[in-house]
Amino acid sequence: MYVHRWSDGTPVKLPVGKVVCIGRNYAEHAQELNNPVPDNPILFIKPASAITAFSKELSLHAYLGEHHYEAELALLVGETITRDTVSPLQCIEGMGLALDLTLRALQSELKAKGHPWERAKAFDRSCPLTGFVRKTPQSKENYEYRFWQNGELKQHGQSSMMLFNLEKLLGEISDYFTLEPGDVVLTGTPKGVGALRHNDRLTLQLGENTPFEAKVNLE
């Protein structure tokens, strides 16, 4: 069963909660999918049951169809954040990386019909998470991360390129959804999204920290 872990593999003493995700937080990614740049962050939720570990063998449910990756900076909530929280960044206890896996064809279909995205975004194993670095983000710092597929750099994100910064995102989210200890926030994906294939070797690296590797099983 999945538990949150620190980057050295030791378990985090927090429950596993929901994942609140941001859509279209990087202008160049919105453009690559022909989406308008939003005035407000787009929010959606993956349940705790969607989380799986980004580790050696990443087994996905092939029957669901083509999975697209979106590499994203992930924030681990350590203390409750409500709309009254004055310094929400102070309530973040760890930073890691995630893949916001998406059934893109199905999402396009649902979007066209004006239906919710859950089937395409919140399905089982749709949220592989790396271990977390023990860290509380600082609003002025730039956090960088990279994603490689079979050794080829596919995505390079920087928090300084986000349309809505981390503080703003936590404020917007907590206006609607209380964030509880063990919840995770995914902060949107930069350009370069694409499909996963069976046997892909994936690498995620936050800053200069030790990279995480996984091999995709889509059979």
The CA–CA distances, whole Å, from 183 to 3, 14, 32 equal: 12, 9, 29
Output 3 or 37, the one with its CB closest to Zn ion: 37
Interacting residue with Zn ion among 70, 93, 172, 183 (CB under 5 A): 70
In the block, tokens 């929901």 appear at: 18
93 binds Zn ion (CB under 5 A): no
Contacts of 132 (CB under 8 A, 6+ apart): 4, 5, 6, 7, 12, 74, 76, 93, 94, 95, 96
Residue 101 binds to Zn ion (criterion: CB under 5 A): no
Nearer Cβ to Zn ion (70/172): 70
Residue from 52, 155, 189, 203 in contact with Zn ion (CB under 5 A): 189
Pattern 18-57, Zn ion, x by CB under 5 A: ----------------------------------------
Is residue 187 a contact point for Zn ion (CB under 5 A)?
A: no
Cβ-closest position to Zn ion:
100
Give the nearer residue to Zn ion in terms of CB position, either 158 or 210.
158
- Characterize the bridge pairing of strands 57-59 and 212-217: parallel
What tokens were used for 108? 């396009």
For the segment 71-90, give every residue that binds Zn ion (CB under 5 A): none
Q: Report yes or no: 213 and 124 within 8 Å, Cβ to Cβ.
A: no
Cβ atoms of 193 and 155 within 8 Å: the answer is yes
Given the rule CB under 5 A, which of 63-71, 147-155, 159-167, 175-183 is the region that contacts Zn ion? 63-71
**Which residues are CB-neighbours of 192 under 8 A, at least 6 positions away?**
29, 32, 147, 154, 155, 156
Q: Which of 93, 100, 172, 183 binds Zn ion (CB under 5 A)?
A: 100
Binding-site ranges for Zn ion (CB under 5 A) = 70, 100, 189
